[in-house]
Amino acid sequence: MSQRSRAGFTLVEVLMSISIIGIIAVATGALLNTSFTAYTETTQRSIQQREGVVAMDRIRNGLRRSNFVFAPNYHDPSSSELIFSGHSNNDGDSYLGDSLFPRIDEDVSHDLTADNANGISGRDDDGDGQVDERAAASVWSSTDQFDTTGFDNSNGNKAWPADWVESIESDGATAGVVQVAVGPGMDGYSLRLGGDVVSMSGTLASRSVDVGAANGIWLSYIYSQSGPVSGTVTIAVLDSVGSWEDVATHNVGGFVQGKVQSIDLAGDLGTTSSIRFTGSGTTGSTGYIYFDDIRLRTTIDGTSGSMTSDDDEDGASDEDPIDGIDNDLDGMIDEDPPSDANNDSMPGVSGIDDDGDGAIDEGSAADDDEDGSVSEQVVKTLTYFRDDATNTLRETDSSTGLTTTIAEGVSDFQLEFDSSTRVTVTLELTDADGHVLEIVEAVCLRNVLQNAGKRVR
C-alpha cells in the first residue's frame, strides 16, 4: 500500500508570494492615493471655481443693472473698491403699475446719495487726496466749440482774451496745416491739424486765458483722428514759473472718433494759463487730428461752496444732468445731476406723461417722476471690497447697513475704469494648496446712458 504524497509550499514560494502581494498592495495603494488626491484637488478646484463664478455673476449682474457707478471712475480709474447704485425702490413705484418693472433712481436729489456730503461720504471720489471737500464757490469755463470757421470763437462763461495764434503759418482758418473744419465724429467744426504729407514740426497753434486766483484748473477736449498714422501733436500748458509742461501727445491719423480727454492741471497753475499744440514729424497721406470743445475750466474755492451738491467732487455742483451726455467733458456720463435731474426745467421729461395719469408736466420741476413727491428716491449703494484680514470678498448694502461675505479665499480684487460704459473686474482666489484662479471680465454697463424715468430693464 503506497503512502499518499503530501505536497505544500516551500518557504521560498511563500516568501515570493508575500513579496508579490506586497508589491501589488503598494502599487494599488499608490494608485488609490493618487486617485484620492486627484479627487480631492478636483473637488477643491470645483468649489473654488464655483465660488469665483457665483461672486463674479453677482457683481456683473449688479453692475449691468446699476444706474450710477461711483468707483472706479474717470477721476480714479484704478480701484480696489467697487461702488455702484443698488436696486432699491424707495418710493415703491413701477412702470404701468407692474411690480416686475420697478422705477429705480428716477427722482433723485442734488445730493445724489443723500448722505449730506459731496460725493460719497468718507471717500475721495475724485482721487485728489481730499475727502468730502467743499465745492468751489465759483466755476469759470473758457471754451471753444468752433461754431464757425474762425480762430475767434469763444463759449463758456469766461471769454478768451485773444484768438488762436498760428505759429508756423499765417494763412487763416480755412487753409494750411492749421484749419477750422468739419471733423469725423464731431458736432460741426473743429480745430484740424495735419494734411497730405506735410511737416508738423514746430508750434502749430496757441491760446491764453487769465485764470487769476484759481486754485483748480482742468483742460478737456474731444478729439478724432483719420487717415494714415504718421507724426504727432503734443499739447502743453504754461505753468506758474513760465515753463511749458507737456500734458498729452496724440498721433496724427488713426481711426478714433469723438473721444473725450480730461486732464487735471492742478500742478500747472499760473496767473495766465496758455495752451499750445506742437507738431512733430510728417503726416501720412491725408492724415489729420481734430480737436473740439477745447475747454479750460477753473475753480475758485470759498466759504460759500456747497458741501452736498458736488457728487463727483470735481469742484463744480450739479453740472452733469441725466441726459446721456458728458456735459462737463470729464469722461463720465450723468454723474452729478441737479434736483431737476435732466435739467429741462420741467417735471419729469418735458412733454411726457411720466406717471401715466393722463396729465403732462404737472407739479414741480424737481419732481422727476411726476408722482407728487420731490427728490424722494435716494440712491442706495452696493460696495464690494476685499477684507485683507480674512481674505474674503465682502458686500455692503447702504440701504440695510449690512456687510456680508460673498466669496472666501480671495487673494486679489481690482477694478479698472475703461470708459463710462465699461468696467473691467479682476477677481483672484487662492485655495489652501496655493492654487490660484483668476477671473477677469469686462462688464458693459447697460443703464448709465439714461433719461430720468424712462428706462425699463
Residue 13: is its pLDDT beyond 80?
no
Return d(Cα 278, Cα 257) in angstroms, integer. Answer: 21
Look at 130-139, 226-235, 253-262, 281-290 and tell me which has the smallest mean pLDDT: 130-139
Q: Which amino acid is at 227?
A: G
pLDDT tens readout for residues 301-314 = 777 888 999 999 88
Look at 62-71, 165-174, 441-450 and tell me which has the smallest mean pLDDT: 441-450
Residue 101: is its pLDDT beyond 90?
no
Tell me what the mean pLDDT of segment 422-447 comes to: 91
Give the C-alpha distances (Å, rounded to integers) separating 419 from 9, 261, 423.
83, 11, 7
Q: Which amino acid is at 444?
A: C
Among 121, 139, 57, smallest CA distance to 393 is for 57
In the prediction, which pLDDT does 79 show?
Answer: 93
In the prediction, which pLDDT does 27 show?
Answer: 74
In the prediction, which pLDDT does 452 show?
Answer: 42
What mean pLDDT, rounded, does the chain reach?
86
pLDDT tens readout for residues 200-250 = 999 999 998 877 667 788 899 999 999 999 999 999 988 777 788 899 999
Return d(Cα 330, Cα 138) in angstroms, integer. Answer: 18
Q: What percent of the chain has pLDDT over 70?
A: 91
Return d(Cα 252, Cα 230) in angstroms, integer. Answer: 6
Q: Which amino acid is at 77?
A: P
pLDDT classification of 440: cutoffs 50, 70, 90: very high
pLDDT classification of 100: cutoffs 50, 70, 90: confident
pLDDT tens readout for residues 155-172 = 988 899 899 999 989 999
pLDDT classification of 357: cutoffs 50, 70, 90: confident
Tell me what the mean pLDDT of segment 84-111 comes to: 83
pLDDT tens readout for residues 45-60 = 788 888 999 999 999 9
pLDDT classification of 278: cutoffs 50, 70, 90: very high
DSSP-derived 3-state class of residue 40? helix
pLDDT classification of 182: cutoffs 50, 70, 90: very high
Residue 36: is its pLDDT beyond 70?
no
pLDDT classification of 451: cutoffs 50, 70, 90: very low
Of residues 392 and 36, more confidence is placed in 392
Contact 189, 198 (CB under 8 A): no
Which residue ranges form the domains of the chain, and what is each CATH number? 46-132+308-457 (no CATH), 138-300 (2.60.120.260)
Q: What percent of the chain has pLDDT over 90?
A: 42
In the prediction, which pLDDT does 455 show?
Answer: 41
Residues 6+ apart with CB under 8 A from 121: 113, 115, 132
In the prediction, which pLDDT does 453 show?
Answer: 41
Residue 456: is its pLDDT beyond 70?
no
